[in-house]
A and B are shown apart, each in its own frame.
Chain A
Amino acid sequence: MTTLHYLVLAPFIMALLVPFIYKGFRHIHTGWFVLALPLILFIYLLSYLPIGGNTLNPEVMVVPWVPTLGINFAIYLDGLSLLFALLITGIGTLVVLYSIFYIANKKDEPLNNFYVYLMMFMGAMLGVVLSDNLMVIYVFWELTSLASALLIAYWFHKEKSRYGAQKSMLITVTGGFAMLAGFCLLYIITGSFSIQEIIAYFGQIDLTSEVLVIPAMLLILLGAFTKSAQFPFHIWLPDAMEAPTPVSAYLHSATMVKAGIYLVARFTPVFGGLPEWFWIITSFGLLTLIWGSISAVRQTDLKGILAFSTISQLGLIMALFGLGSASFIDNIAEVAIIAAIFHLINHATFKGSLFMVVGIVDHETGTRDIRKLGGLMSIMPITFTISIIGIASMAGLPPFNGFLSKEMFFTGVLDVASLNIFNIQTWGFLFPIVAWIASVFTFVYCMIMFFRTFTGKYQPEKLEKEAHEAPIGLLISPIVLASLVVIFGLFPNLLSYSMIEPALHAVLPYTVGLDNYINIYHWHGLNTELFMTIGVVLFGSLVFINLKRWQESTFFLHERDPLNRLYDGGLDGLVAGSQRVTNVQLTGLLRDYFVYMMVFMLILLGWTFFRYDAMQFNFTNVSEISPYLWIITLVLMATTISIPFIQHRVTSIIAVGVIGFLIALLFVVFRAPDLALTQLLVETVMVVLFLLCFYHLPELRKEKFKPKFRFTNLVISIGMGAIVTLLGFSAHAARHSLNFSPISQYFVENSKPLAGGYNMVNVILVDFRGLDTLLEVLVLGVAALGIVALIKLKMKEGQDV
Chain B
Amino acid sequence: MEILMILTVGVLVSVSTYLLLTKSLLRVVLGLLLLSHAAHLLFLTLAGLKEGAPPLLGEEAASYADPLPQALILTAIVIGFGVTAFLLVLSYRTYKEHKTDDLDQLRGSADE
A residues apposed to B, CB below 8 Å: 583, 587-591, 594-595, 598, 619, 622-625, 629, 633, 636-637, 640-641, 643-644, 649, 652-653, 656, 659-660, 663, 666-667, 669-675, 678-679, 682, 685-686, 689-690, 693-694, 697, 700, 703, 705, 707-708, 710, 713-714, 716-718, 720-722, 724-725, 728-729, 731-732, 735, 742-744, 747-748, 751-752, 757-761, 764-765, 769, 772-773, 776, 779-780, 783-784, 786-787, 790-791
Contact = CB atoms under 8 A, between A and B. Distances in A.
Nearest to A590: B103
Given A644-B18, A672-B44, A786-B86, A623 B2 contact: yes
Interface in B71-111: 71, 73-75, 77-86, 88-93, 95, 101, 103-104, 107-111
Given A724-B13, A758-B58, A744 B18 contact: no
B16 to A, nearest CB: 8
Contacts of A583: 110-111
Interface in B1-25: 1-15, 17-24
Contact of B12 (A640, A678, A693): A640
Nearest to B14: A721
A640 B18 CA distance: 11
Contacts of B55: 671-672, 748, 759-761
B30 to A, nearest CB: 5
A690 B88 contact: yes
A67 B36 CA distance: 46
A594 B21 contact: yes
A704 to B, nearest CB: 10
A776 B83 CA distance: 12
Contacts of B64: 748, 760
B13 to A, nearest CB: 5
B38 A724 contact: yes
Contact of B103 (A591, A595, A622, A791): A591
Given A672-B70, A721-B10, A735 B53 contact: no
19 contacts: A588-B107, A594-B21, A624-B1, A629-B4, A633-B8, A640-B34, A644-B19, A656-B33, A659-B37, A663-B40, A667-B44, A717-B21, A720-B14, A721-B11, A722-B14, A728-B42, A729-B6, A735-B48, A765-B71
Chain A contact surface mostly: helix
Contact of B74 (A678, A713, A787): A678
B64 to A, nearest CB: 6
B95 to A, nearest CB: 7
Given A656-B30, A725-B7, A764 B67 contact: yes
A622 B4 CA distance: 10
A157 to B, nearest CB: 30
Given A670-B50, A761-B71, 20 more contacts: A623-B49, A624-B1, A649-B26, A659-B12, A659-B34, A660-B33, A672-B54, A672-B70, A673-B54, A674-B70, A720-B17, A721-B10, A724-B9, A728-B42, A743-B68, A748-B64, A783-B82, A787-B86, A790-B89, A790-B90
A74 to B, nearest CB: 49
| Interface range on chain B (Cβ under 8 Å from partner) | 35 or more
Contacts of B12: 640, 659, 721
A732 B45 contact: yes
A758 B30 contact: no
B1 A625 contact: yes
Contact of A722 (B10, B33, B67, B103): B10
B11 A640 contact: yes
B6 A725 contact: yes
Nearest to B42: A728
A684 to B, nearest CB: 11
A378 B18 CA distance: 87
Contacts of B112: 588
Nearest to A626: B1
A670 B67 contact: no
Contact of A744 (B68, B108, B109): B68
Contact of A764 (B47, B58, B71): B71
A671 B54 contact: yes
A760 B86 contact: no
Given A672-B44, A744-B66, A689 B57 contact: no
A791 B89 contact: yes
B33 A671 contact: no
B2 A747 contact: no
A758 B14 CA distance: 39
A752 B13 contact: no
A177 B68 CA distance: 49
B65 A716 contact: no
A598 B1 contact: no
Contacts of A649: 26
A728 B81 contact: no
A710 B21 contact: yes
Contact of A724 (B10, B57, B78, B93): B10
B20 A594 contact: yes
A714 B20 CA distance: 11
